[in-house]
A and B are shown apart, each in its own frame.
Chain A
Amino acid sequence: MDELGALIQGFAVVLTPTNVALMFVGITLGVLIGVLPGLGGANGVAILLPLTFSMSPTSAIVMLSCIYWGALFGGAITSVLFNIPGEPWSVATTFDGYPMAQKGRAGAALTAAFTSSFVGAFVAVVMITFLAPLVAKFALKFGAPEFFSVYLLTFCSFVGMGKGSPFKILIAMALGFALAAVGMDTVTGQLRLTFGQSELMRGFDFLIAVIGLFGIGEILLSMEEGLNFQGKSARINAKVVWETWKELPRYWVTSVRSSLVGIWMGITPGGATPASFMSYGLAKKMSKTGSKFGTGEIEGVIAPETAAHAAGTSALLPMLALGIPGSPTAAVLLGGLLIWGLQPGPLLFVEQKDFVWGLIASMYLGNLVGLIVVLSTVPLFASILRIPFSIIAPVIVVICAIGAYTVHNAMLDIWFMLGFGLIGYVFKKLDYPLAPLVLALVLGDKAEDSFRQAMLVSQGEISIMWANPLVGSITTLALLMLAWPLISKVLHKIRPPKVNPLAAQQPVD
């Protein structure tokens, strides 16, 4: 049990007064971000990333990952009380959470949501504790072709498992790669796609893109609706929490199933949103009270929340072990690692033991702290949503501008952010997915490097992608994923599928 020893050491690293304080700060900021429209996990972490430049990497990742947990928790508050999903992955929580609030059971719904979030995350962290070192050990043997095939699989999975037009997924991805290529070529030193503009030499930073696409884009979208919040008030006291907790063990099957769905969807880049929908759908199908789903069943809150949190947490496994993030937020955290001078990937487990196990330990503690913070402060955060949008909107634009500026201390980045905001708004309205774009922008250079190295080894022969069983099977799986939209079309012709009424409500993520 090497892992347990390492984990205990990790706890020792994390349990300093400073780090515990940062945990509370991170969770509070995270919930705030999750509750506010326009700020979400990915861009919230991106905006706050510069604040951590002067910290040690361990303290920094503790705070940032806690912001992430906080944002995951925060999404549930708006879904249950206001019927407005703060994050795309909490859309499914509104189906039963809001009806529960309407029936006056808001406290129970929130307790169930937070507790199942915690359970989902906990199961996922246990999985990471034991699986991540194994994956990393395995990946140490990877060469350039293997890495490129994993990148390929990551991006093809978006096409195979994504919702909406495969063309749009492909183009979002390719656009990300094209933007990543702008600037100095790392191998030849040539300037690419800069068109003689020296400001473009640095290229596009994905943090700016994240802040613009998710932050400004979201504000424009919310403004379009002319938001006026009509919320239910929530009162959580110890009695409600206790009553709900007594009720929860009855639904352990749902919890286990949802955790597994979440873990699977989180490791593969399916993401938290599809995980929550899938889990809700499964629970509806398998539950005894399935026909009552949508009218305020507590099981309908447990299922999506457990899965979303399990997926959000599991997304960190490929990020840590392979250096390939499973979600935009994990991508931002990965960007943070690079800025602090750490090279994500299998070597991290060998060279930066303290850091890795500190992070894993902080996942355990962070979620526990998160549960305590959200259960005790719900009314406070709910009251933030009652601040009129005409105050919130300019403040969020200002926060985004500050975030964009601090990344490189460059004024031009604020303009880029505004541009990305406009792109984000239009793309979101036309159902272009943003996650593949962001991931491609982050991984662009690394994917290209591994591709070039692979090609260099084989002298341009594409057959190297099938040179051994491992790389061959990953590549084949990737191509299968890429062709999945076509395959499923053919399958539908042969055997018409049952119409899934939930699918229409799932947002393109």
Chain B
Amino acid sequence: MSDKEASPAGDGEDGGPVLARNCTVDAVVAAILLVVGVVVIIEARRLGAGWTSDGPGAGYFPFYIGVIVCISSLGILWQALFSKSRDTGPFVDKLQLTRVMSVLGPAVLYVFAVVFLGLYVASAIYIALFMIVLGKYSAVKSVLIAVVVNAVFFLMFEVWFKVPLYKGTLEPLRFLGY
């Protein structure tokens, strides 16, 4: 990356050191998209991007899509690395990343929990823990809100609109009969 000289690796406004700059992330994303584009082109050619006996092949359209992705990502890559007007503003600073991860991390764990416990139980635990750990609420209040929210969801989906939700491989709510 050639953005080192753009500005000293100073602090963000008040959120601690800037961890990444816009042009850096821009370049990385463009590079990833370039790979995606190449993969699409290769796959399209494998499927037959040309003319078959009964018309355009399955890869005919995706081939051109892949070409557009490649050209555009090269354009963005060029702008992000060499353009004079590239955006060297901060993409994310330490405080922001911590905040984002404090939502994203638990969300990933939550989806893992859904696989085993089902949507209702996992959601209740997730909301309660989120409130206790990040919101600093008392345990009683958090659990109460979590249970009430999920009871409302349960009534709305299972009882009123008759849309069954995922119960998990362990089916902890089997005793309810739904």
Contact status A402-B165, CB under 8 Å: yes
| Given A177-B65, A430-B29: A395 and B55 interface contact (C-beta under 8 Å) | no
Contact status B103-A398, CB under 8 Å: no
Instruction: Give the residue name and chain of the B residue nearest to A175 (CB).
Output: B69
| Given A395-B127, A409-B166: A390 and B135 interface contact (C-beta under 8 Å) | yes
Contact status A405-B29, CB under 8 Å: no
Enumerate chain B residues within 8 angstroms of A51, measured Cβ to Cβ: 157, 161, 163
Instruction: Give the residue name and chain of the A residue nearest to B25 (CB).
Output: A430
Enumerate chain B residues within 8 angstroms of A167, measured Cβ to Cβ: 72-73, 75-76, 79
3 A-B pairs with the lowest CB-CB distances in the bound complex, closest first: A390-B135, A171-B72, A394-B130
Contact status B33-A175, CB under 8 Å: yes
Contact status B123-A406, CB under 8 Å: no
Contact status A390-B165, CB under 8 Å: no
Of the residues B33, B37, B137, B166, contact of A390 by C-beta under 8 Å: B137
Contact status A390-B131, CB under 8 Å: yes
- C-alpha spacing A133/B176, complex, angstroms: 51
Q: Does A337 contact B (CB under 8 A)?
A: no
Enumerate chain A interface residues (CB-CB to B < 8 A): 50-51, 53-54, 165, 167-168, 170-171, 173-175, 177-178, 181, 185, 187-188, 190, 192-193, 195, 216, 219-220, 223-224, 226, 388, 390-391, 393-395, 397-398, 401-402, 405-406, 409, 411, 414-415, 418, 421-422, 425-426, 429-430, 448, 451-452, 455-456, 460
- C-alpha spacing A187/B137, complex, angstroms: 56
Contact status B79-A174, CB under 8 Å: no
Contact status B163-A406, CB under 8 Å: yes
Query: What mask results when residues 95 to 130 of chain B are scored 1 for a CB within 8 Å of chain A, else 0?
Result: 110011011101110110011000100010011001
Query: What mask results when residues 116 to 157 of chain B are scored 1 for a CB within 8 Å of chain A, else 0?
Result: 000100010011001100111100000001000110010001
Contact status A451-B61, CB under 8 Å: yes
Of the residues A195, A388, A397, contact of B110 by C-beta under 8 Å: A397
- C-alpha spacing A426/B33, complex, angstroms: 13
Of the residues A50, A219, A406, A414, contact of B103 by C-beta under 8 Å: A219
Instruction: Give the residue name and chain of the B residue nearest to A405 (CB).
Output: B166
Contact status A426-B55, CB under 8 Å: no
Contact status A395-B149, CB under 8 Å: yes
Instruction: Give the residue name and chain of the A residue nearest to B108 (CB).
Output: A418
| Given A175-B36, A226-B99: A220 and B104 interface contact (C-beta under 8 Å) | yes
Q: Does B173 contact A (CB under 8 A)?
A: no
Of the residues A170, A393, A406, contact of B68 by C-beta under 8 Å: A170
Contact status A53-B72, CB under 8 Å: no
Contact status A224-B100, CB under 8 Å: yes
Which chain B residues in 50-83 approach chain A with CB under 8 Å? 51, 55-62, 65-66, 68-69, 71-73, 75-76, 79
- The number of chain B residues with a CB under 8 A from chain A is 66
Contact status B57-A391, CB under 8 Å: no
Tell me the smallest distance from the CB of A423 to a CB of chain B, in Å.
9
Enumerate chain B residues within 8 angstroms of A401, measured Cβ to Cβ: 110-111, 114, 119, 123
Instruction: Give the residue name and chain of the A residue nearest to B78 (CB).
Output: A167
- C-alpha spacing A460/B64, complex, angstroms: 14
Contact status A411-B115, CB under 8 Å: yes
Max chain B Cβ within 10 angstroms of own Cβ: one of A170, A175, A192, A394: A394
14 further contact pairs, Cβ within 8 A, besides A193-B43, A430-B29, A455-B55: A171-B73, A171-B76, A178-B65, A181-B65, A190-B47, A192-B58, A226-B99, A390-B135, A397-B110, A411-B166, A414-B114, A421-B107, A430-B22, A452-B61
Of the residues B29, B56, B126, contact of A398 by C-beta under 8 Å: B126
Q: Does B18 contact A (CB under 8 A)?
A: no
> 16 A–B contact pairs at CB < 8 A?
A50-B163, A51-B157, A51-B161, A165-B76, A167-B72, A171-B76, A185-B47, A193-B43, A195-B43, A216-B107, A223-B99, A398-B150, A402-B157, A409-B166, A411-B115, A455-B60
Enumerate chain B interface residues (CB-CB to A < 8 A): 22, 25-26, 29, 33, 36-37, 40, 43, 47, 51, 55-62, 65-66, 68-69, 71-73, 75-76, 79, 91-92, 95-96, 99-100, 102-104, 106-108, 110-111, 114-115, 119, 123, 126-127, 130-131, 134-137, 145, 149-150, 153, 157, 161-166
Tell me the smallest distance from the CB of B25 to a CB of chain A, in Å.
6
Tell me the smallest distance from the CB of B130 to a CB of chain A, in Å.
4
Enumerate chain A residues within 8 angstroms of B135, measured Cβ to Cβ: 388, 390-391
Enumerate chain A residues within 8 angstroms of B134, measured Cβ to Cβ: 390
- C-alpha spacing A411/B114, complex, angstroms: 9
Tell me the smallest distance from the CB of A303 to a CB of chain B, in Å.
30
Tell me the smallest distance from the CB of A247 to a CB of chain B, in Å.
41
Contact status A223-B100, CB under 8 Å: yes
| Given A388-B135, A390-B137, A402-B165: A170 and B62 interface contact (C-beta under 8 Å) | no
- C-alpha spacing A185/B59, complex, angstroms: 9
Of the residues A178, A226, A429, contact of B62 by C-beta under 8 Å: A178
- C-alpha spacing A50/B134, complex, angstroms: 32
Instruction: Give the residue name and chain of the B residue nearest to A448 (CB).
Output: B61
Contact status A178-B111, CB under 8 Å: no
- C-alpha spacing A185/B48, complex, angstroms: 12
Tell me the smallest distance from the CB of B38 to a CB of chain A, in Å.
12
- C-alpha spacing A190/B54, complex, angstroms: 14
- C-alpha spacing A223/B134, complex, angstroms: 12
Enumerate chain B residues within 8 angstroms of A397, measured Cβ to Cβ: 103, 107, 110, 126
Tell me the smallest distance from the CB of B161 to a CB of chain A, in Å.
5
- C-alpha spacing A425/B92, complex, angstroms: 12
Enumerate chain A residues within 8 angstroms of B60, measured Cβ to Cβ: 452, 455
Enumerate chain A residues within 8 angstroms of B130, measured Cβ to Cβ: 390, 393-394
Enumerate chain B residues within 8 angstroms of A53, measured Cβ to Cβ: 163
